[in-house]
Amino acid sequence: MEKMQPASDQSFQSTCNKCRNVKIVISLLLIIILILIIILILIGCLFCYKGRSVPSNHEKDMITCPPVTCPLDWIAHQGHCYKLSREEKNWNESQNFCMSHNASLAKITDEEMDFVTMLTRNHVFWIGLKREPDQSWKWLDGSNATLKVRGKGEDCAFLHDDATASAGRCSNEHRYICKKNDPKRS
């Protein structure tokens, strides 16, 4: 014959089971809230770094996000701001767009080449390199180019994603890279 438990024991067991269930639910909710807080912090820092160069190891150790100094959708790197277009324009229209944003088609130094080619994957981009017919290549600031440009007969240069440049018809349409000084470093 089955032993009957007094009503008070059954009530106590029922209450304990409810308490255990409540503890489990509360624990799960706290874990979910903690995970959400961590995700929100990470997303916040990602938005702070959006439009900036890859942070150094020292900057990664900092908890606060650095101030954004370049305009939205521009990328900061070594004291300059870069804008990589998604639309294609001819060389003159590209330079006009850059000028309308207080910039110019990019002059790419040897030190910047790795950074720029990392950004230009699978596309070619107009850069601020041009020449007069049968003359040497010059950057828009008038300085002579050390970047070797492949091809002859055309007077505007575009950059490949493999860090090489080619001569092209200025009327052809390509994406383009604008560059200007970082306003916080000017």
pLDDT of residue 21: 86
The answer on pLDDT for 121 being more than 90 is no
The answer on pLDDT for 53 being more than 80 is no
> What's the whole-model pTM score?
0.62
* Neighbouring-strand partners of residue 144: 138
Report the candidate in 64, 81, 63 with the shortest Cα–Cα distance to residue 72.
81
The answer on pLDDT for 60 being more than 90 is no
Tokens at residue 98, please? 């850059």
Burial 147-179 (b: 16+ CB within 10 A, else e): bebeeeebbbbbbeeeeebebbebeeebbbbbb
Q: Can you tell me the mean pLDDT for 20-47?
A: 83
